[in-house]
Structure 1
Amino acid sequence: MYRVLALFLLCLPVFAWAGAPGQAAIASAHPLATRAGMAVLEAGGNAFDAAVAVSAALGVVEPYSSGLGGGGFWLLHVADDGRQVLVDARETAPGEAHAEMYLDEQGEPVPGLSLNGPLAAGIPGTPAAFVHVSERYGRLPLAETLAPAIALARDGYPVYERMRLGLNFKAEQLRRWPGSELLLPGGEVPPLGARMRLPGLARLMERLARDGLPGFYGGESAAAMVDAVRAHGGIWSLEDLENYRVIEREPLAAEFPGGLRIVLPPPPSAGGVAMIQALNLLQSYDLETMEPAARAHLVVEALRRAFRDRGYLGDPDFVDMPLERLLHPHYAAGLRTSMRNDRATPSAVFSPLHQDEDGDHTTHFSVVDAAGNRVAVTQTLNGWFGSSFIVPGLDLLLNNEMDDFATKPGEPNLYQLVGAGANDIAPGKRMLSSMTPTFLESPRGVAVLGTPGGSRIISMVLLATLAWIEGADAATMTSLPRYHHQYLPDRVVHEPEAFSAEESAALAARGHALQPSRRMYGNMNVVTWDYAGNRLEAATDPRGEIEGWTY
C-alpha cells in the first residue's frame, strides 16, 4: 500500500537510449492524476504523453488549483537530442484589455474587480499546451492521453477534505455566478466522499481531443465561453480565443561550481531570473558548514535582492529587460558588496522597482520516463478556484490571472506585492509569474522539481536546490522546513518549525523581522535520477497529503 499522493515508481522495459534508467517516475499532487500518467506510460506513451494526461487529470480533481481554464509553464527535456525547451502556456490579456480597466473614476483600484468574475480572466493556455506537446513531442494521439481525465470528469471522483476547505473558503464568491451548482449542489459544500462529476468538462475535452485547437478555441466551445463571459461583464472575444498560441522559449541555464547546471523558465516567469541571481549571490559562501541562522540570514539577503529586481521583468514580447546584466556573476558580485554577515540590509535601502505576483493556488508535477525524457510542469488558475466563474454547460472554471498584472503601479495585489510598468496590462500580453519548473543537472544525477505557492515558489525551489547540491534525496527536498523573503514587505515569513528559538533570536539580532506562517505551505513534487545507482526516486510533499487516498 502506497503513501497518499501517489509516490510512485513504475518499472518499464529499458528503451534504446544510452544510460537509460530503465524506470519511469511521476510525482504529482493527486494519486488519480499520477495514475492517469502511469496508464499512458503503460500504453506506450512517453513522458510528454504522460504529462498531458497528468495535467488534464489534475485539472479535474484539483479544480481549485488548475484546469483547462488556466495556464502554466512546461519545461521539457528531449532525451534523443538533449534539447530543452520551455513551452509557455501562460494566459494572455483579452484584446479589449487596457491599463485602467480595474480603476474607478478617481484612478483607484476597485476592490475585487481583478479577482472575481469573468472580467478577471485571461485567455487560457492549458488546452493549447495539450495539443502542442502531444503533436510535437508525444507518441500517442490526444484522444488516448486525455482519456483518463475525460473518464474522471464523466464518472466522477470522491470529494476530499482539501477540496472541501477550498469550497468553504470560496463558496460565497462561487454562488455569485451561474454554474456554481456544479461544485455546490443545492448551494452547499458537498460532504466527504460525495461524487464530483463534471460532464460538461468531459464533453469539452472530447472536442479538444477530436478537433485539436478548434475544439476549444473555436466553434461551439468558443462561442459558449464568449457568450457567458460577455453576459456577465467580461471582455473576451472569439478572436482572442482563435488567436491564442503557446510559445516555445529557450530556457535559462546557468552553471555553478561542482558541475551543477540549472535549467529554468525565462520571462514571463520571474522565477528563473530570481533563482540564478540568488545562486550567483550565494556561491561565494560555504553554506554547508555554516550554523543554521547564519546560513538562513544569507539566503534571505540573496532573496531580498533577487525579488527587488523582479520589477524589471515582464512579457518579453512587450518589454525590453536587462537580462544579460541581471544574470551576470559580475552583477551579483556588486550586489554582494552590500551583504553583511552580521546584519540584515533593510529593504528601504534599495530604491523600489515594484513587483507583481501570481497566485497561491497552483499545482506542479514532475515526470521522467525510461528513455530519459523529462517534464516539469507548473500550472495554475491563480487564486482558490480562480475567478469563481464557471462557464455554464462546459463546466469550465476560469482563471483570475489578470490580477497578476500591475493593475496600478505601486498598488499591492492579492499577495501584498506591488506592480511595475514592465508588467502593466496590454492586449495579448502575458502576465508575470513566479512559477518555476526546474531541472537540476550535475555529475550526481538529475532532479526535476517545482511547487505551487505564489511568491514563495522561488524560495521553496531555492531551498530544495541548495539541499540537493548538498546531497539531499527527493523526499528530503519535499519535506524541508521553509522560510521566505520577497523584498517587500520587509519580513521573513517562515513555517512554525523552520527555526529553533535560538535561531530565531540570532536572526532577530541581525535585524530580521520574523513572521510565523499561519500554516504550512507549498506542495512540492520531485523526481530524482541518481546516476551511481541508476535509480529513480519520486516524492510528493507531506504537506499536501490527502487523507484516505491509497493504492
Structure 2
Amino acid sequence: MKQTFLAAALCVVLAACGVPQPPATANQAPPDATPAATNDGAARAPSITGRPGKAAIASAHALATDAGFEVLGKGGNAFDAAIAVGAALAVVEPQSSGIGGGGFFLLRRASDDRQVFLDARETAPAASRPELWTDPQGKLDRDKSINGPLSAGIPGEPAAFAWLAQHYGKLPLSESLAPAIRLARDGFPVYGRFAKSIASRKPVLSRWPSSAALYLGESGEAPVEGAVFRNPDLATTLELIASKGADGFYKGEFAKRLADAVQAAGGTWTIEDLAAYQVREREPITLDYRGWRIVTAPPPSSGGIALAEMLNILAGYDLAKLERMPRVHLTIEAMRRAYRDRAEYLGDPDYVKMPIAELTSPLYAAGLRASIHPSRATPSDMLPGYMPPVEAEHTTHYSIMDADGNLAAVTKTVNLALGSGFVVEGTGFVLNNEMDDFALLPGQPNAFGLVGGDANAPKPGHRPLSSMTPSFVIGEDRVGVIGTPGGSRIITMVFEGILAFVDGQSAQQVAANPRYHHQYLPDVVSAEPNAFTRDETRALQDMGHIVNDAERTWGLMNVVGWNRKDGTVEGGSDPREEMSSARVQ
C-alpha cells in the first residue's frame, strides 16, 4: 500500500515537471545498440586543454605502478601503461583481477580529446540456461554459481589488452606485457591480502589439482607472507598473448585447451564461444555537475547511470550552505533513489533497450528530489520495490595520466576472491565467476535472498551488469581520474570521491576519506569506523535513518589529479591497503 501510494505520488510530481518516466519493463533491442547519455549542461561543461608535463599512476600494488612507469619510460603512453599495470596486477593481485576475468577501461586521448569507454566485460557461453545453476528443488545452487568452471563467463581482459595496443598505444603489445611476464617468471614477495585470499578459498582451490598446485603448492597450504611466489605458467600464457595478440588466447590450440578443460570439469565453454568474444567501444555517460564535466561508465555498468541520478539530485541543493549532517542526509536519500532504479531497468546494452535518457535527465532528478524530506529519512519500503543484485568486492582499480594528458581509468575483476577457483592446468590463472553477477534465475531469490529480472538474465553472449564505475572529473582548473573496487559500494564511493574532489580536496584526501553507503535495500546506512562521530550518528537516527557505523573498511580507491592552474600533478592511493602505490614523475 505504501509503495503504491508513493509511486503514484512520484508520478504526479514527475508529470507536473514534464518528466518522461522510465518504462515498467526493459524491451529487447538489436545487438548493435550502444546507448549514450548526456544532460543539457554537459555541452557547456569544461573540456581539457594543455598538457600536464608529468605522469601519475595510482594502483593497488607498487610493482604494478612500477610496471606502468617502466613502459612510459620506453616511450609508451597512458594506454600502454594501462596494459602494463593491468597485466602486472594479474600477476601480483590474482585474487582481484586477471586474464581470466574482464573489466572496463575509460579512456581520454589527448590528441583529439576523444573520450571512449572500452567494455571488456565477460560474456555468457552459448549454452547458458537457468537450469544449469539449479538444485534438485529448482532453487539457485549457490555453489554452482560461484565455484568451478560453470560459474565462469568468457574472459575479456586479453582482448582488451590487444585492442588497447592496436588502437591507442604507441608500443607493441610485447613491450607493454614485458614487465608482467618478468614478474610472473621471477616472482614477487607474498603480502598479507594475497595470502589471506588464498587461505579463505583453500576448500575450493583444493577441488582441482591444477588450482591446488598453483596456489597451495606441495604443502597444501596458502603461501606465507614474505615468500617468493612464482608463476611460470602465467608468464608463458602472457608471452603467447604478446606474440599472437587476442588470437593467441581466443583461437587455435590455446582456446581448444581452455574449452576442453572447462567442459571436462563440468562447464560449457566451447571454442566457438571464445572465438566470438569481442570488446565493445561505447560512448561514456557525460553530465554536468555544477560546472564540472563528469565522464563515467555506461551500461553494462550500472554505475554511471546511478552516479548521474545522484549528482543530478544533489545539483538542486546549495550544499555549500548546509551543515554537515543535513548534507549527509540528502546524499543518503540520493543514494537510496538511485539504487532503487539501477537494477530495475538496466542490462546488456547490446540486447536490452533502456530508458537512459530519462534516468539521467535533470528533470527526472527534480521529481526524485521533490520526494525527499529535508529532515526525515524516506523508508525504502515506501519506494516502489526492487532488490539490487549482490556483487563481490574483489576487484581492482587503477588511474593513469601521462605527460601529454592521455587518461585511463580502469576497473577490472574476476568477481569473488580468486574468481571461480578453477585453473586450467598449465595456464597460470583462475577463471572468473562472473556468471553470478547475472540474475541466474529471474524472479527467484539467490542465496542472499535477492532477486533480479530478465534484463540481466544469463542469455548467450550477454554481459552481466556491474557496479564498476571508472570516471573522469573535469573542471575549469582541475582534472581527476577516479575509481575503486568494492562491490555494490563502488558507485557510492566514486560518488563521494567526486563530491570531495569538486570541493577541492587533494587526490590523497579523496582516496583516504571515511565512507558511508546506502543501497535502497537493506534500508541501512553502512559506515566505516570514524565516518561519523557519535553525535552525528545520533543526528541521522533522529532523522529516521538506521545506521551501522561500526563496519569494516571497504574499497581500494586510486586517484590521480592535475591542477591546470598551477601545473601540479598528484596521485592518491588508498591507505586501507598496505601495497597500494601512487607515484608522480
Question: TM-score, normalised to structure 2's length?
Answer: 0.89
User: 1:262–1:393: structure 2 CA closer, same or farther, 3 Å change rule?
Assistant: same
Q: Distance in 2 between matches of 1:415 and 1:460?
A: 22
1:325 corresponds in structure 2 to 358
| Structure-2 residue corresponding to 1:520 | 553
Q: Match of 2:132, SS?
A: coil
Match of 2:209, SS state, is coil
Residue 370 of structure 1: aligned partner: 403
Spell out the pairing of 1:8-407 with structure 2 (5 A cutoff).
19-179=50-210, 180-185=212-217, 186-257=219-290, 259-310=291-342, 311-407=344-440
Q: What secondary structure is seen at the aligned counterpart in 1 of 2:576?
A: helix
Which residue pairs with 2:30 in the alignment?
Answer: none
The answer (yes or no) to whether the contact 2:526–2:551 under 8 Å persists in 1 is no
User: Are positions 1:482 and 2:515 aligned together?
Assistant: yes
Q: Could you tell me which amino acid in structure 2 is paired with residue 111 of structure 1?
A: R
CA contact (8 A) 1:365 1:378 kept: yes
What is the rounded CA distance, in whole Å, between the counterparts of 2:94 and 2:558 in structure 1? Answer: 18
8 Å contact kept, 1:251–1:264: yes
Count of matched residue pairs: 534
Q: Check whether the contact 1:354–1:409 (CA below 8 A) recurs between aligned residues.
A: no
Q: CA deviation at 1:395?
A: 1.2
The secondary structure found in structure 2 opposite 1:396 is coil
SS for the counterpart of 1:537 is strand
Deviation at 1:353, TM superposition (A): 3.5
- C-alpha displacement of 1:205: 0.7
- Whether the aligned pair in 2 keeps the contact of 1:70 and 1:126 (CA below 8 Å) is yes
In structure 2, what is the Cα distance between the partners aligned to 1:543 and 1:18? 34
- Given that 1:293 and 1:504 are in contact with CA atoms closer than 8 Å, whether structure 2 keeps it comes out as no
CA separation in 1, counterparts of 2:241 and 2:448? 34
Assess if the C-alpha contact under 8 Å between 1:403 and 1:413 holds in 2.
no
Q: Is the 8 A contact 2:59 2:580 kept in 1?
A: no
C-alpha contact 2:195 2:223 (8 A) present in aligned 1: yes
Work out the CA distance in 1 between the residues paired with 2:562 and 2:234: 36
C-alpha deviation, 1:152, in angstroms: 0.7
Q: What is the distance in 2 between the residues matched to 1:262 and 1:99? A: 38
Any idea what the Cα deviations from partners look like across 1:242-274, whole Å, max 9, x if unmatched? 1101000000000122x2000011000000000
Is there any run of 5+ residues in structure 1 with no aligned partner, and where?
A: 1-16
Q: Which residue of 1 aligns with 2:495?
A: 462
User: What's the secondary structure of 2:414's corresponding residue?
Assistant: strand
- Equivalent AA in structure 2 for residue 289 of structure 1: K
1:51 to 1:227, Cα distance in 2 relative to 1, 3 A: same
The structural deviation recorded for 1:18 is: 6.7
Question: Structure 1, residues 178-216: CA drift from partner, whole Å, max 9, x if none?
Answer: 322211112111111111111111111101110111111
SS at match of 2:367: helix
Letter of the structure 2 residue corresponding to residue 75 of structure 1: L
Does structure 2 conserve the Cα–Cα contact (< 8 Å) formed by 1:416 and 1:489? no
Q: 1:163 to 1:313 in 2, by over 3 A?
A: same
CA shift for structure 1 position 547: 9.5
Please list every run of 5 or more consecutive structure 2 residues that lacks an aligned counterpart in the other structure.
Answer: 1-47
1:334 maps to a residue whose letter is G
Give the letter aligned to residue 400 of structure 1.
N
Q: Could you tell me how far 1:410 is from its partner in structure 2?
A: 4.4
CA-CA distance at 1:549 after TM superposition: 12
Alignment match, 1:14:
none
Counterpart of 2:504 in structure 1 is 471
> What is the CA-CA distance between 1:548 and the residue it aligns to?
12
AA of the residue aligned to 1:294: P
| Runs of 4+ residues deviating >4 angstroms | 410-417, 547-551
Decide whether aligned partners of structure 1 residues 130 and 414 sit closer, same or farther in structure 2, where only a CA change above 3 A counts. farther
Q: Distance in 2 between matches of 1:547 and 1:422?
A: 36
Maintained 8 Å contact 2:59/2:582: no
Cα displacement string for residues 160-185 of structure 1 (whole angstroms, at most 9, x for unaligned residues): 11111111211111111232221111
Q: How big is the alpha-carbon RMSD for the aligned residues of Structure 1 and Structure 2?
A: 1.8
Per the alignment, in what secondary structure is the counterpart of residue 187 of structure 1? coil
Determine if contact 1:358/1:401 at 8 Å carries over to the other structure: no
More displaced stretch, 291-300 vs 532-541: 291-300
Q: Distance in 1 between matches of 2:580 and 2:362?
A: 46
Q: Hey, what's the Cα distance between the residues in 2 that align with 1:175 and 1:309?
A: 40
Match of 1:10 in 2: none
Contact 2:99–2:157 at 8 Å: present in 1 too? yes
**Could you say which residue in structure 2 is the equivalent of 1:7?**
none
Contact 1:357 1:434 in 2 (8 A): no
Task: Verify the 8 A CA contact 1:356 1:423 in the aligned structure 2.
Answer: no
1:397-428 deviation line (CA, Å, top 9, x unaligned): 11000000012234555777532221111000
* Deviations 1:508-547, CA, capped at 9 Å, x for gaps: 1111111235411110000000011111101100001239
Deviates more, 1:126-135 or 1:181-190: 181-190
Distance 1:550-1:378 versus aligned 2 partners, 3 A rule: closer
C-alpha deviation, 1:288, in angstroms: 2.7
Secondary structure, counterpart of 1:296 in structure 2: helix
Superposed CA offset, 1:431-461 (max 9, x none) = 0000000000010210001000000000100
Once the two structures are overlaid, the 10-residue window that deviates more, 501-510 or 516-525, is 516-525
Alignment partner, residue 17 of structure 2: none
Which has the larger displacement, 268-277 or 488-497? 488-497
CA contact (8 A) 1:251 1:266 kept: yes
SS of 1:268's equivalent? coil
Aligned equivalent of 1:434: 467
Q: Please list the CA deviations of residues 462-499 of structure 1 after superposition, one character each: whole Å capped at 9, or x if unmatched.
A: 11111111111101100111001111111111101111
| % identity of equivalent residues | 53
8 A Cα contact 1:178 1:389, kept in partner: no
Confirm or deny: 8 A CA contact 1:356 1:420 kept in the other structure.
no
SS at match of 2:145: coil
Deviation at 1:314, TM superposition (A): 0.5
Query: TM-score, normalized by length of structure 1?
Result: 0.94
